[in-house]
Amino acid sequence: MRLLIIEDEAKLRSVLRRGLEAAGYVVDEAEDGQGGIARALDGGYDAILLDILLPDIDGFEVCMQLRRAEVWSPVLMLTALDAVDDRIRGLDAGADDYLVKPFAIGELLSRLRALIRRGRPPRPAVLTCGSLELDPATRSVSWDGHPVELSRREFALLEFLLHHRDEVVQRATILRHVWGVRSDEQSNIIDAFVRNLRDKLDRRFDYPLIETVRGVGFRLRCPSNE
């Protein structure tokens, strides 16, 4: 089993290497994000241990670039940041699990075993609506082959609507799934994001892509001839 450690703290790197080698793994190291990406692109790692705070680009970016380059080795993120938001960001970026520093080597080994047992994460399917394509794996959106830049939340909203294409989705449901909010008090935040999506997408279609269903919610309309 081959592992790649991407971690800038030399001391932690060598502790990890010793622990992992003692458990029978073959270990390669990188001390920054770009170096890690270069090694990972060479491929063949059964898992990648990825620190979040790195000197050049952060671990989220490393993970996203790897997935974009179709590198599907399972990624275990290591971080001192114990915020729910970072956990979600890590998983959004395509990481498979998350371990908070400081951790015991035994805990790391058991997480690694679980991760490797699960195998490579399946590549998520590309979602389409006419000539609009959203690729959850590479976190990219294109219309007729032209890239469309979306913010993280706009992306999440569009992804959710695509999963429910041609259905009327209630505001409360959108809030719960895209914002993680349970009450619909903040229901008008959706409107701003829908407006942004319309600005970026609707002008490319000859009909409104996102319909407002008054008093209920929204519907993403897709051409039926596909």
Report the nearest approach of Ca ion to the CB of residue 57 (Å).
12
**6 or 158, CB closer to Ca ion?**
6
Closest C-alpha to 19, from 11, 95, 30: 11
**53 or 172, CB closer to Ca ion?**
53
Q: Is 8 in the site for Ca ion (CB under 5 A)?
A: yes
Secondary structure (3-state) at 67: helix
Report the nearest approach of Ca ion to the CB of residue 80 (Å).
8
**8 or 46, CB closer to Ca ion?**
8
**52 or 175, CB closer to Ca ion?**
52
Secondary structure (3-state) at 153: helix
Structure tokens at 40: 């990972």
Report the nearest approach of Ca ion to the CB of residue 46 (Å).
23
CB 194 within 8 A of CB 158: no
Binding residues for Ca ion, rule CB under 5 A, total 3
String of contacts with Ca ion for each residue 50-69, x by CB under 5 A? -x-x----------------
- HSE toward the beta carbon, residue 9, CA cutoff 13 A: 13
Report the nearest approach of Ca ion to the CB of residue 188 (Å).
40
Q: What residues contact residue 141 under an 8 Å CB cut-off, 6+ apart?
A: 132, 133, 134, 135, 147, 148, 149, 150, 155, 158
**Among 1-9, 88-96, 112-120, 201-209, the segment contacting Ca ion (CB under 5 A):** 1-9
Q: How many CB atoms lie within 10 A of CB 106?
A: 10
Site for Ca ion in 108-147 (CB under 5 A): none
Structure tokens at 187: 């229901």
Report the nearest approach of Ca ion to the CB of residue 6 (Å).
9
Q: What residues contact residue 132 under an 8 Å CB cut-off, 6+ apart?
A: 141, 142, 143, 201, 204, 209
**36 or 136, CB closer to Ca ion?**
36
Report the nearest approach of Ca ion to the CB of residue 53 (Å).
4
Site for Ca ion in 34-53 (CB under 5 A): 51, 53
Write out the residues near Ca ion by the rule CB under 5 A: 8, 51, 53
